[in-house]
Structure 1
Amino acid sequence: MRKFIILLLVFIIVFSNICIADEAKEENEKVVISLAGDTCFDGALKKHISKYGINYPFDKVNCYFNEDDLTILNLETSVTTRGKKWPNKQFNFRSNPNSIKGMAESGVDVVTLANNHILDYGYSGLMDTLKCLDKYNIKYTGAGKNKKEAIEGVIIEEKGVKIGILSFSRVIPDMKWYATSERSGLVSGYDYYVGEMTKKIAEMKKEADIVILSIHWGVERITTPRKQEINVAKKAIDCGADIVMGHHPHVLQGIEVYNGKPIFYSLGNFIFNSASKAGTNTMISQVTIVDKEIQSINVIPCKIINGRPIPLEGKEKAEAINNINKLSKPFGSKVNGKGFMEIN
């Protein structure tokens, strides 16, 4: 009987130590989230994809997306083979459905849809886009069959961390793009709707450990955010957002850390045909979460060549990091020579 009790005590001690070690490992496990900007497979990219295959746009960066825990892009195009151009727009983008298959195979998990091109080919084009994303199991937010779906957002759990993503746009070509209870469309982040947006952020924060706000805003080809973008970003963080990922200017803007939360004012183009030199400068921004808190960010500078991003090395990488730091200087932010910045 005495031997049995001793063996039982040894078993309990060993088992307890294993559990404690496993809990400590889980608590310290890193979750890496990759964020990138405007993604569209129209124009010359269609020819490149036809020639080199559906994985062509991502073949130099999918190593990052397949090794991280979550990848989020802004999908700025209708994905359809039908529909008519929305009238009175300068640019209407339409991408082939096989592009989404390539995106899924390259490790993209979530796309944000609240932007000024998601209805370029009308409501039928939007519905085709949603169906295609569902087919390849890519989550989406910011647009939907109705307003309830468009504003709902998504929550994804990775290694015990619940990550919520919301998407709003402050660039909307037509009032008819607004989702309603009876009409498909997107959700607005304009001043009149900021209260609705912050309310949704606060609600999601009750369920999610990390809340990411994706927001389409700003002025094209301008490398400095306006006062209104800065104010909205900080208001979002005050209401519970942990990360703000901005896009629309088609060029990079600076990084600010506000109350320990990173704001990427513009991630620039990512998969995109750009006529301007500045528009070919882009980056992947990786945010590392430890113990459900933001620990650091890692900026991976890239150059867009023939529509696809290619990571930079050596002197080109150093110059790109210097440029990002120049853009971020007004906010007191700086990444080191390798692109890292400790947050906490």
Structure 2
Amino acid sequence: MGSDLVRLFLCGDVMLGRGVDQILPHPGDPALRERYVHDARSYVALAEAVNGPVPRRADFAYPWGVALDALDAAAPDARVTNLETAVTTNGAFAPGKAVHYRMHPANLPSLAAVRPDVCVLANNHVLDFGRGGLDDTLASLAANGLRTAGAGATAEEAQRPATVGLPGGGRLVVHALGMASSGIPYDWAATARRGGVHFAAAPADTAATQLAGRVRDAKNPGDIVVVSIHWGSNWGYALSRAEVELAHALIEGGVDIVHGHSSHHPRPLEVYRGKLVLHGCGDLINDYEGITGYEQYRDDLRLLHLASVRPEDGGLQEVRIIPLQARRMRLEHASGRDARWLHDVLGRTSRPYGAQVALDEDGSLVARPA
């Protein structure tokens, strides 16, 4: 690959709240209002029952494990994460939700450890502690120098993309959109007078269709435009036809990468008109270790997506995928056997969408246009 390619790190959900928050240096209130679990430390105990002791007051980098060195070796030009938790010690539990995530603001150095250039917030947990909790989240991230996209104090702020300078003078422009299909309540939508997320009730909703128009109007030569979307159900490889059509419409409108997340495991990759669509990146960090019920999807396997695109047209050269595994609430390298399993699953499910997945000698996966 030539050195003039733009290299981007894209990942799925980063959930540093609840049980993960409890093992970091500044754990918040562990109280929960879930049906079966009432203390966040119970999720640490579940992980320990499966894989052994988890340290308390672990250093901020602990949950990332080997991912930090892997990313430093890959040297991406920009890093985009989906932060799926409120960052607050205040606020009331949002009504009508079965699960609530929050992390203590003093634990934000754990997020900063991966050096994200953009933190996407358009998801179904950022308002788990109300609009006061959202205000705290936005203020804490800003105080730590972390750019955000997808949520704000008004609709205008929630719709505003995050912009990052790239080598060679171009820009990475990241828009973020949350959809009802991922479980975002309708009343979380930001309005002119009320904070919230950039929200679309459905793929054909005005908010989704207008996004393509805003991209088309604002895109400059040399820009790489990413639309990061929280959409779809948690489990399964089948894709919604309407959501696939939305991804295509965004690409046709000038978007270079559609960065999809919400599913707990990876979903198919697609190459449409030479551009990348990640329909579901899978979780990257959470406290789900030891929770049973969907073992066939291997949600313990986590992926680092490293997309290389041409700056002149945003066309995809390749996506290198580093497979990891969550153990003791930190990321380790996946085994060769697990890498082969991921290759088989992603290869089979992505082939109908124009992406070819190969297994490299170093154990990483490489996806290219078919």
Instruction: Establish whether TM, by shorter chain, passes 0.5.
Output: yes
Deviation at 1:101, TM superposition (A): 1.4
> Is 1:308 matched with 2:330?
yes
Contact 2:165/2:171 (CA < 8 Å) preserved in 1? yes
Distance in 1 between residues matched to 2:310 and 2:83, nearest whole Å: 28
> Is 1:289 matched with 2:309?
yes
Can you list the C-alpha shifts for 1:231-273, whole angstroms capped at 9, x where unaligned?
1111111111110111112121100100000111001111112
Distance in 2 between residues matched to 1:151 and 1:308, nearest whole Å: 33
1:271 to 270, 278, 285: 285
* Structure 1 residue runs without a partner (length 5+): 1-26
TM (norm. structure 2) is: 0.81
Deviation at 1:210, TM superposition (A): 0.8
> Is 1:340 matched with 2:366?
yes
Contact 2:124/2:185 (CA < 8 Å) preserved in 1? no
1:244 to 250, 258, 277: 258
Contact 1:54/1:98 (CA < 8 Å) preserved in 2? no
Query: What corresponds to 1:197 in structure 2?
Result: 211
The change in CA–CA distance for 1:302 and 1:318 in structure 2 (over 3 A counts) is same
Contact 1:270/1:308 (CA < 8 Å) preserved in 2? no
Distance in 1 between residues matched to 2:136 and 2:232, nearest whole Å: 28
The secondary structure found in structure 2 opposite 1:130 is helix
Query: What corresponds to 1:185 in structure 2?
Result: 196
Query: What corresponds to 1:175 in structure 2?
Result: 186
AA aligned opposite 1:161 = G
Query: What corresponds to 2:60 in structure 1?
Result: 54
The change in CA–CA distance for 1:208 and 1:186 in structure 2 (over 3 A counts) is farther
> Is 1:161 matched with 2:170?
yes
- 227-236 vs 183-192, which moves further: 183-192
Q: How many residues matched?
A: 318
Distance in 2 between residues matched to 1:126 and 1:207, nearest whole Å: 34
Distance in 1 between residues matched to 2:268 and 2:120, nearest whole Å: 21
- 92-101 vs 158-167, which moves further: 92-101
Distance in 2 between residues matched to 1:198 and 1:242, nearest whole Å: 11
Distance in 2 between residues matched to 1:37 and 1:306, nearest whole Å: 19
* Structure 2 residue runs without a partner (length 5+): 26-55
Can you list the C-alpha shifts for 1:14-37, whole angstroms capped at 9, x where unaligned?
xxxxxxxxxxxxx94333100000
Can you list the C-alpha shifts for 1:292-333, whole angstroms capped at 9, x where unaligned?
343221111222224433332423222222222122132242
Contact 1:144/1:150 (CA < 8 Å) preserved in 2? yes
Query: What corresponds to 1:320 in structure 2?
Result: 342
1:82 to 90, 109, 125: 90
Can you list the C-alpha shifts for 1:23-73, whole angstroms capped at 9, x where unaligned?
xxxx94333100000111123212332421211111320124342221111
Contact 1:155/1:208 (CA < 8 Å) preserved in 2? no
- Which has the larger Rg? 1
The secondary structure found in structure 2 opposite 1:221 is coil
Can you list the C-alpha shifts for 1:147-200, whole angstroms capped at 9, x where unaligned?
111101111111022111000011254332111111111111333222222122
**C-alpha RMSD over aligned residues:** 2.0
> Is 1:40 matched with 2:15?
yes
Distance in 1 between residues matched to 2:221 and 2:230, nearest whole Å: 24
The change in CA–CA distance for 1:43 and 1:28 in structure 2 (over 3 A counts) is closer
Contact 1:65/1:71 (CA < 8 Å) preserved in 2? no
